[in-house]
Structure 1
Amino acid sequence: MRSMDDLPFYTKSQLALRNGQDREEIWVAYEGSIYEVTHSRLWRNGKHYEHWAGQDLTEELSEAPHSKSVFIKFKVVGRLK
């Protein structure tokens, strides 16, 4: 398993391309980590309720009905620059 130090950095512009529309990958960021959510049924087409993929969701999580533990089941693919 890779450590966080071994993961590549991505800019917000690069993250934005993984929105479920521009590319097949669907990624979201939270607290500096970028998560692969492509295969989650809750992120079909890059949208999860009022949230859009390809973005940093750190600020938005406070409005969600769940905690940050929801990210445990997703693979970390990079770090937000």
Structure 2
Amino acid sequence: MKVYTRAQLALRNGQDREEIWCAYKGMIYDVSASRLWRNGHHYEHWAGQDLTKELGDAPHTERVFERFNIIGKLQLPE
């Protein structure tokens, strides 16, 4: 599985490129097809970021990520 840096993830924010990606628990998901992520924005959350710490504020569980394809892994800081 391909590994992406935080900088590479940040480019997939729905603004710089067509891809809209976000990370959760070290995995990167393609949310481009979701109408809820149009323009890289979903309520107060922004694509191109690691959303692991933000999920606690969401009205849904982590199962929401089951709908999306995993693109790769997020490179963890050393």
Pick the TM interval, shorter chain: over 0.9
Q: Deviations over 1:48-80 (max 9, x none)?
A: 000000000000001100000000010000000
In structure 1, give the amino acid aligned to 2:46: W
Counterpart in the other structure of 2:40 = 46
| 1:23 paired residue number | 17
Tell me the TM-score normalised to structure 2 length.
0.95
TM-score, normalising length from structure 1? 0.92
1:18-39 CA deviation, whole Å, 9 max, x = no partner?
0000000000000000000001
Unpaired segments ≥5 residues, structure 2 = none
Deviant stretches of 4+, over 4 Å: none
Q: How many residues align?
A: 75
CA RMSD of the aligned region, Å? 0.3
What is the identity percentage for the equivalent residue pairs of Structure 1 and Structure 2? 67
Unpaired stretches in structure 1, ≥5 consecutive residues: 1-6
